[in-house]
Structure 1
Amino acid sequence: MSEHTLTVAGVAVDTRHWIGGRRVASAETFTDVSPIDGSVIGEISRGTALEAAAAVAAAKAAFPAWAATSRAERARILHAVADGVEKRIEDLSIVETTDNGALLRSHRRGVMPRVAHNFRFFADWLLKLEHEDFETRGHTNHVSWDPAGPSVLITPWNAPLMLATWKVAPALAAGNTVVLKPAEWSPLTASLLADIAAEAGLPAGVLNVVQGYGSEIGDALTSHPDVRRISFTGSVPTARRIAESAAGNLTPLSLELGGKSPLLVFADADLDLAVDLAVEQYDNAGQVCLAATRFLVEESVAEEFTRRFVEKAATLTQGDPRHETTDIGPNIHPRQLEKIDAFVQRALAAGARAVIGGHRKDTQYYAPTLLTDVAQDSEIVQEEVFGPVLTLQTFSTEEEAVRLANDTRFGLAATLATADAERAERVTAQLVAGTVWVNCFFVRDLQAPFGGSRHSGVGREGGTWSFDFYCDVKNTVTAPNGWKNHG
């Protein structure tokens, strides 16, 4: 076995970059640590501006041929990638659980099948992508989607492969070539994806994977003049740096950023359903951008809602994510755990009360927490914690509920529990959010637009919206009766 190969739970993973269809090692490495127990997984090639430039050059060289590849052939290859993912669901699941600490059962049953679906969906959508021709004073308008060029995709650590392929699949389907930069805290499944894509017949240079720290290679990727699209999922401060870096070349951006989403519970709601929705916000140890971390509950039912929530939360099992019975795993990194605890301790010092939790369990796990007696303008209500920390506030009128829900700088999602259809329609029309769920949560369809408002992001992806971003959309206008007769 190569010195650049790790064995992770019995699965071989190459630690080098994937550039131009071959493995490339760096002189330096960084240490990848498992959040499950803090153990060292291995040393990963640490990219520099040199590897970043090489990856963009490889993507640029491969672009003309891939852009000229027929839609049918591109779709065939993407389906072959999906086939490869499905054959390796167990490998991908155990490696990602080891690497980022999310539940193994969720990876097996939902996340990795969704990875395959990402490729199949955009392959199929490509084949039906069209806009009906229309007439203007006798002239014919024809809309087409031209591949834009090399695309840099920067992805987060909370759902590494699923969120990476949510970008990679439409970019490749559109005819673009890709440089994927995975998060340094969870790089391993991106390396496996490179192997799967190569085995599926994706041409060299069409997909490149560069590992390392964003602070060291990010600017080299996002400021490169040959990059035509940048898609990023992560924090607002990092998004600002990317936007500044891309501005010199006017490179189009798609930014999916943080959230501080509300769960509005009205007195007429099914409280059992509302509590189920509320407890679900602890999914992935609270490391979900869409999580409804702010509970806004009508005063008349707040006490009963809280009682039922505490009872339901007490049934959750926190521990090793590889165990079938575990409901909440670890947080991704000791630094993240420290950040979470600092938020909570500042809130408690400011007068908040911990109904449950309010403390770390050890160096990897944070106790599921619910804080009350929090002010609307407090840090814990206004800023994204990205951990298993929720707040509860009350309201007395529908107008107050909407005001509180919208009173942050974010606008990614919102969840609403009510038995009144007319109220649901009124409230959802007023909520600032890219996605609103009514009496449900996390129901996602790839043909729907996805993105955030305000500081939660720029742009929408999904279905045709993805192709609108990853392509140069062209309108061709043809005059009538302008052809010579060569008959």
Structure 2
Amino acid sequence: MSTMAKLEGFRNEPFTDFRQEPARQAMEEAIARVKSEELRREIPLRIGGRDIFTDTKIHSINPGNLDETIGWVSKADRDLAEQAMQAALEAFESWKKVPPRERAQYLLKAAALMTERKHEFSALMVLEAGKNYAEADADTAEAIDFLNFYAREMIRLSEINETMPLTPVPGEQNRLTYIPLGVGVIIPPWNFPLAICVGMTSAAIVSGNTVLLKPASNTPVIAYKFAALMEEVGLPAGVLNFIPGSGGEVGDYLTTHPQTRFISFTGSKEVGLRISKLAAEPAPGQIWIKRLVAEMGGKDGIVVDETADLDAAAQAIVASAFGYQGQKCSAGSRALIVESVYDEVVEKVVRLTKQLEIGLPEENKAVGPVIDEASFRKILDYIEIGKQEGQLLAGGRQAEGNGYYIEPTVFAGVDGKARIMQEEIFGPVLAIGQAKDWREAIAMYNDTEFGLTGAFFSREEDRISEALETMHCGNLYINRKCTGALVGAHPFGGFNLSGTDSKAGGYDYLLLFTQAKLTSRKL
């Protein structure tokens, strides 16, 4: 079978239907198994194939049950970060010479094992990240997709001269090859603690680079589980170094390190801009411009005109706003509705929101906790701001439970310039605004410093065509929710201050972790 045929055969990992009792029971058993076998352990750093335990620990807890410890994770400092850098530099000298097809096999093996243990990975996310069954399952499925997709894409890139030959020149033999960059720093977020961590890391590794993985401090245990899986499939020591630590200490040190070749970051706008600034200043001894791949969040919205299927629009608004408690960079935290159907859509949204059940993720409630106390306090502060900027129609308070629970909150009548319309809250808060017509609604949608995802609901083809051209975002969806990008189908990345528009899960993503070398030989 040709390489292209193999690529065309890529299929996304199917989601589990937890409405079926066997599937639900399997997840419950996986949660019980993880609780009895994997929690409350001391987890080491992993540098150059060696376990290193430190006195300083990250205490990972269940945000839905604050009495439950997930694990104590050793914490790196600058000296250990430097050890990890030296281990990665040493490993790079041999790893960059490993043929791309062989590098891809590590990812394919990891994908196969993760598929076999899918519920185990998902169960750990239910406990550490506060995801319900469906959200955790989708996260694991996306991680599997990234492994499979990037493995096949690396093979395609390595054979690109066979599939897309250069323009021939008589008397010359010309070849374009994609070679690795060097050592990179991987800084993934906590909200997709497996999928994005796996995608960022595997893309860099399969491209021939070695990496320093600094996971989010809220979800280091699931990141370690992935790092251990890569070791299990035989990834050579030093290719992936696991170094949890402080962003201000370890993150800044590695970002400014002269041997760091690239930084791959997903997180807040503020941290992303800080990394961009630090990385732009060359350090003594640095001989390259550091490459930054960054996804920095959004203030995404859904536009609804008067011709739309209003029930479908309301369902999409609620799913986009409150899926995983609104803790997604793609979350639809704004809804912009034309005035002739405004009241009807608002009524439907409020009714659906009030039907959402809040509680423990391990009991598979629709709405679980937000990730930590800092987020909890920040979101409640924004809700107080919202009470001054709009009409509170649902939620607005802390919810019951031994965790960071907040009611799904809906504000209507919100001005486009209001803070809850402009600032990323990253929580279960929806702001609804009214527009005189669909063009004004699109203008309100575009009035933001971000540009990640958006959705447009209409039955009019002329309007859809104009929306496709004028709504300014990296991922635009028509008549569906604005969350839920699939690897290979919806390459993901945004405009403006949403990041570098690096399309994760797309056919050009690996190019960001390589450099193209042209060789020309006179015959």
**TM-score of the superposition, structure 1-length normalised?**
0.93
Aligned residue in 2 for 1:4: none
Measured in 1, the distance between the counterparts of 2:169 and 2:104 equals: 37
Q: Out of 169, 173, 184, which is 2:202 matched to?
A: 169
SS of residue matched to 1:68: coil
Aligned pairs for 1:309-320 (under 5 A) are 309-320=349-360
Aligned residue in 1 for 2:487: 446
Aligned residue in 2 for 1:367: 407
Contact 1:77/1:201 (8 A) holds in 2: yes
Count of matched residue pairs: 471
Q: Does residue 280 of structure 1 match 2:319?
A: yes
Aligned residue in 1 for 2:167: 135
Q: Does residue 260 of structure 1 match 2:299?
A: yes
Aligned pairs for 1:80-479 (under 5 A) are 80-108=109-137, 110-129=138-157, 130=160, 132-135=164-167, 138=170, 141-249=174-282, 250-281=289-320, 282-324=322-364, 326-348=365-387, 350-362=388-400, 364-441=404-481, 442-447=483-488, 448-461=490-503, 462-478=505-521
Q: Which amino acid aligns with 2:277?
A: E
Aligned residue in 2 for 1:27: 55
Q: Which amino acid aligns with 1:290?
A: S
Contact 1:451/1:458 (8 A) holds in 2: yes
Q: Which amino acid aligns with 1:187?
A: P
Contact 1:31/1:40 (8 A) holds in 2: no
Q: 1:108-155 CA distances to partner (integer Å, 9 max, x unpaired)?
A: 3x2212212211111111112226223276466533211111111101
Contact 2:183/2:211 (8 A) holds in 1: yes
Contact 1:134/1:140 (8 A) holds in 2: no
Contact 2:316/2:480 (8 A) holds in 1: yes
Q: 1:401-450 CA distances to partner (integer Å, 9 max, x unpaired)?
A: 12101101111111111111221111121111010011123352433532
Deviates most, 329-338 or 242-251: 242-251
Contact 1:236/1:258 (8 A) holds in 2: yes
1:215 Cα deviation after fit:
1.6
Measured in 1, the distance between the counterparts of 2:54 and 2:193 equals: 22
Measured in 2, the distance between the counterparts of 1:218 and 1:360 equals: 33
Measured in 2, the distance between the counterparts of 1:464 and 1:346 equals: 42
Contact 2:185/2:254 (8 A) holds in 1: yes
Contact 2:346/2:412 (8 A) holds in 1: no
Q: Which amino acid aligns with 1:360?
A: Q
Measured in 1, the distance between the counterparts of 2:309 and 2:201 equals: 40
Aligned residue in 1 for 2:85: 56
Q: 1:169-189 CA distances to partner (integer Å, 9 max, x unpaired)?
A: 211111111111111011101
1:456 Cα deviation after fit:
0.6
Contact 1:125/1:463 (8 A) holds in 2: no
Q: Which amino acid aligns with 1:359?
A: R
Contact 1:14/1:191 (8 A) holds in 2: no
Cα gap change, 1:443 to 1:8, in 2 (>3 Å): closer
Q: Out of 24, 37, 49, which is 1:11 matched to?
A: 37
1:378 Cα deviation after fit:
1.5
Deviates most, 243-252 or 177-186: 243-252
Q: 1:274-297 CA distances to partner (integer Å, 9 max, x unpaired)?
A: 011011020001101001111000
Measured in 2, the distance between the counterparts of 1:29 and 1:193 equals: 19
SS of residue matched to 1:39: strand
Q: Which amino acid aligns with 1:112?
A: T
Aligned residue in 1 for 2:65: 37
**TM-score of the superposition, structure 2-length normalised?**
0.87
SS of residue matched to 2:237: coil
Unpaired runs of 5+ residues, structure 1, are 1-6
Measured in 2, the distance between the counterparts of 1:294 and 1:356 equals: 15
Aligned residue in 1 for 2:102: 73
SS of residue matched to 2:293: strand
Measured in 2, the distance between the counterparts of 1:157 and 1:443 equals: 17
1:54 Cα deviation after fit:
1.4
SS of residue matched to 1:423: helix
4+ long deviations beyond 6 Å: none
SS of residue matched to 1:86: helix
1:8 Cα deviation after fit:
5.3
Contact 1:161/1:189 (8 A) holds in 2: yes
Contact 1:49/1:216 (8 A) holds in 2: yes
Q: Which amino acid aligns with 2:44?
A: R
SS of residue matched to 2:65: coil
1:80 Cα deviation after fit:
1.0
Q: Which amino acid aligns with 2:108?
A: H
SS of residue matched to 2:424: coil
1:306 Cα deviation after fit:
1.2
Measured in 2, the distance between the counterparts of 1:453 and 1:412 equals: 6
Deviates most, 147-156 or 243-252: 243-252
Contact 1:231/1:255 (8 A) holds in 2: yes
Measured in 2, the distance between the counterparts of 1:46 and 1:238 equals: 20
Q: CA RMSD in A?
A: 1.8
